[in-house]
Structure 1
């Protein structure tokens, strides 16, 4: 069991059937290497093709993965337009768009997310203050969104990942923060894979195994996994 993540009891009260898989990895070299960019582009392209198994409904929101997460998001306070990270990725595929490489670790978890239809995210452990928690926001937790100039604190009742400083990621994996983002210089990371029902858990189990295998293949290092479920 990793001590890098704690899931608060308030979260289980809201989502008693959920399960969180947390993969921790140390000693990475996440630098972008020019001659590997095509490899990661190919990985994302193949994942995009695999993701079509989760599409097909005439109306995008009626695809089961999208509908399940929209229902989950209706159970807590959130910003208007907040959607699960897997919905955001599937939306791009549904619109005929292709993902481009960002950095190796992000590319790997995005490829896994699309292939298995589950939300994945990652944080730089070196920038986490204390233990990272998944829980319910009191409101006002400091948060500077990735790519934004101004702070945008968490809302009361919002599902967030947080540490001693503030929010790390808002609305499950909807919006990542600049403070803890994965970069080329990241050497130690925690990656989370989320599921909220039995069907998602089955895919989540495969997703975590694939995530660990791709990390081993890309970086030559082993990773640890911990599973969190309601007691």
Structure 2
């Protein structure tokens, strides 16, 4: 069953009334990037910006775009010393190593550069692997989850999760993703950017960007800028072979239908 709707359930806004979510539905007509130099430039620029802005991990932690999420995680009872939001964890790694880690693949690497550029959590799913509606909701606890890297976990009662009609997709709001719905990039060996024969290369995907800043006006501007730069980044790397549509969610706009 194809995904038809994206829904942010009411209890999410009961806990976080100013939460804002952007979703980019991206489609590629060619799985292979056409501008490798553009991706490298995005990596170089985002890393340089991060290193110039923050001299230490404590400097990073005091930035509102990190501190807001620290407060949100603490509100949910999540210990941030052990479980950090995705953008904070990656930023800390880059500050320490002063270099990007081993590439995952262009599809993922592009949004990771935007995550560092904007310092907002980013995450994504292969649309073709999703079943039914996609929801951000509160878990009752005890729901089975299969994380990246294998194994099985159970959700805690009260944690925020992304799920479809079949399974949990992401635990602890934006901390850990499912292996089953990950974006896969195996086009490097394909001819003329075509997907591999096994059909595993993602060409249709959903990317989510989140903001919990208390200043509504600033938060809207921040999220809008992040969504625009995200789309522009894919256009740079995939040139004319990328098409997208952006959806915005807040307490007054909780649902959208996918084409």
Name the counterpart of 1:16: 17
Cα 1:54–1:159 shift into 2, 3 Å? farther
Q: What's the secondary structure of 1:72's corresponding residue?
A: helix
TM superposition shift of 1:31: 4.5
Deviations 1:78-109 (A, max 9, x none): 47711111101210122133223211121111
Cα 1:128–1:84 shift into 2, 3 Å? same
**In structure 1, how many angstroms separate the alpha carbons of the residues matched to 2:32 and 2:79?**
34
Q: Aligned pair 1:193/2:209, yes or no?
A: yes
The 5 Å alignment of 1:103-118 reads 103-118=105-120
TM-score using structure 2 length: 0.79
The 5 Å alignment of 1:96-107 reads 96-99=97-100, 100-107=102-109
TM superposition shift of 1:68: 1.5
Name the counterpart of 2:46: 47
Name the counterpart of 2:66: 66
Structure 2 stretches of 5 or more lacking a match?
186-200, 253-259
Residues 27, 187 of structure 1: 8 Å contact kept: yes
Name the counterpart of 2:123: 121
Number of aligned residues: 227
Deviations 1:84-138 (A, max 9, x none): 1110121012213322321112111101111111111111111111111011111
CA RMSD of aligned residues (A): 2.3
Residues 18, 251 of structure 2: 8 Å contact kept: yes
Q: Using CA pairs below 8 Å that are at least 6 residues apart, which structure has the higher relative contact order?
A: 2
Q: What's the secondary structure of 2:242's corresponding residue?
A: coil
Name the counterpart of 1:157: 158
Cα 1:29–1:154 shift into 2, 3 Å? farther
**In structure 2, how many angstroms separate the alpha carbons of the residues matched to 1:57 and 1:3?**
43
Q: Which stretch of the first structure deviates more once superposed, 66-75 or 209-218?
A: 209-218
Q: What's the secondary structure of 1:189's corresponding residue?
A: strand
